Structure 1
Amino acid sequence: MKGKLFIACLLSAVFSTQALAWDLWDEFKSTNVTEEGRVVDYSEKNLITTSEGQSYAMFYALVANDRKTFDQVFAWSENNLGKDQPSWLWGIPDGKMENPGKILDTNNATDSDMWIAYSLLEAARIWNAPEYEARANDYLAKLKELVRDIPNVGKVILPGRVGFED
């Protein structure tokens, strides 16, 4: 009986937390994700967008079954952070939202590239959309280029394309 009670309490907690999580996702979207799919970090004077922020938004959109936001965030990422060699940092130099932004650092962030690839693979599976899998494979190919074999350690992946060889 104790086991069943524990499971019932656990399920109750999960479902009540789940409802709150989606409210928080909707609140985050309305506050930080533009209509175009850009995740804005308002705490920075340059109103930056990072590839990490974009990748997390894709993941949460996937979990929320929010394909529209997923597509918007991914499209913005590819159109502004780069498609073939994604950059990790974009911003508006003068901090005025109405002015054009640009890439502020051309290096990638491997962690976000991994999350994007994972989210694309899962989106392909969940939404039966093979075009996502094709893009995920492009990301995975780029990630393979960052794998190094370190003596006495084994295979590691660099955190970015530039500045981490040593």
Structure 2
Amino acid sequence: MREHPRRAVALVSALAVACAAVLAWVVTGPDDAARGPRAASSPAPSGTGLPAGPDLTARFVDAYVDPDGRVVRRDQGGDTVSEGQAYAMLLAVADRDEATFDRVWDWTERELVRPDGLLSWTWRDGAVVDANSAADADVDAAHALVVAGDAFERPDLRAAGGRLATAILDHETRTTPLGRVLVGGQWADAPPYRVNPSYASPAAYEVIGRATGDRRWTELADGDRAVLGALLDEAPLPPDWAQVTEDGRVEAMPPSGGGSVGYGLDAQRVALRYAASCEPADRGVVRRLGAAVRTDRDDVRGVYDLGGTPTVAWQHPLALTSAAAVSGVDGDARAGSALLADAATLDERSSTYYGAAWVALGEQLLTDPRRLGVDCEGVAS
């Protein structure tokens, strides 16, 4: 959990899972986003049985999206976070499923939108329990809205995406010596700026910038890439969390809720988000990761230190999907496809909200990002 002057830690709860001796925890803020277990534990399945089959979006929606549009983290206490709502919106628009998109966005707009236009992070038992924002969720939701506006010929959705995009730039970005950077949320508005490298989404920035005409999105892509580059100059892999100081230094940091600096289930999204970009510089970041990321299926693990040494024995669908992104950028499409299939199979056996989401999102980002408005035709790689 993060620590900052505007709020105190509200809750840490442990959930014992029979026959597994593992822990999953629910926290109240996006700085320690309850991705899964602490480093010594293996992921706790939800008990949700997902059917085998190629439609990964339908599997996620059927398992985790309630009829009213609320995305439920069934393996993490049954709460809802803005990140999950945004994931479902991205998947629905990619699938051109307007009905699902509408019910997810309607619930999100009704329950999570803050007075400043950002989204509250956590909802539980009928009310928001953490009103702070999570910048990755806001970016993903704005991306989904502007694409949906075009895909469904809905000016209302495009306008909503534009409003959220402006709120992100105004409240969740800061100008540093490295350029404009995305901070963790509106709570991270003072130096040293708390940042999560995996929140940066250059492909989304390009789509949102094109839709809104706001050049600050290009500035943000450049600044976030500079932050990531500074981290990779210090270690082969980026950390889950870092900070940017007032004089422009970038430092790897542990999660505020405790634990070690590592390349875990936050940071492993970096490869997927940057591999989806059309910019050669962004794909170059993924190639840099390839020097340390393990891409042999049997060697992939859920958490590594920043040098690339595994620190846990368990696997996770996101880790396999992230390895697929590295393989794909390196030109090994066959290996990438096999890793995506392995990730889907792993989540079928012991599904988690986060794993199921990233199996579906990873497939979309790596195989057909055009459905999310990303068209790299004519862009040199």
Correspondence for 2:174: 148
Identity within the alignment, %: 32
Stretches of structure 2 that go unaligned for 5 or more consecutive residues are 1-52, 192-381
Q: CA RMSD, aligned part only?
A: 1.7
CA distance in 2, matches of 1:25, 1:143: 27
Correspondence for 1:25: 57
Query: Does residue 1:40 correspond to 2:72, yes or no?
Result: yes
Correspondence for 1:128: 153
Correspondence for 2:325: none
Query: Does residue 1:108 correspond to 2:140, yes or no?
Result: no
CA distance in 2, matches of 1:76, 1:35: 10
Candidates 150, 163, 175, aligned match of 1:138: 163
CA distance in 1, matches of 2:83, 2:54: 20
CA distance in 2, matches of 1:108, 1:165: 15
- Cα deviation per residue 1:88-140 (whole Å; 9 max; x = unaligned)? 11112xxxxxxxx2111111111111111111111111111111111011101
- Cα deviation per residue 1:137-166 (whole Å; 9 max; x = unaligned)? 110110111221112x11112220114522
- Cα deviation per residue 1:54-105 (whole Å; 9 max; x = unaligned)? 001001011111110000000101111125342011112xxxxxxxx21111
CA distance in 2, matches of 1:37, 1:126: 20
CA distance in 2, matches of 1:148, 1:112: 17
CA distance in 2, matches of 1:126, 1:80: 25
CA distance in 2, matches of 1:43, 1:61: 22
Correspondence for 2:102: 71
Runs of 4+ in 1 over 3 A off after TM superposition: none
Give the number of equivalent residue pairs: 137
Q: SS of the residue aligned with 2:123?
A: strand
Q: SS of the residue aligned with 1:155?
A: strand
Query: Does residue 1:91 correspond to 2:124, yes or no?
Result: yes
| More helix as a share of residues | 1
Matched AA of 2:136: D
Moved more, 115-124 or 82-91: 82-91
Matched AA of 1:32: Y
Candidates 71, 84, 106, aligned match of 1:53: 84
Q: SS of the residue aligned with 1:86?
A: coil
> Normalising by the residue count of structure 1, what TM-score does the alignment of the two structures yield?
0.76
Q: SS of the residue aligned with 1:156?
A: strand
Stretches of structure 1 that go unaligned for 5 or more consecutive residues are 1-19, 93-100
CA distance in 2, matches of 1:44, 1:160: 22
> Normalising by the residue count of structure 2, what TM-score does the alignment of the two structures yield?
0.35
Contact 2:86 2:137 survives alignment (8 Å):
yes
Contact 1:158 1:165 survives alignment (8 Å):
no
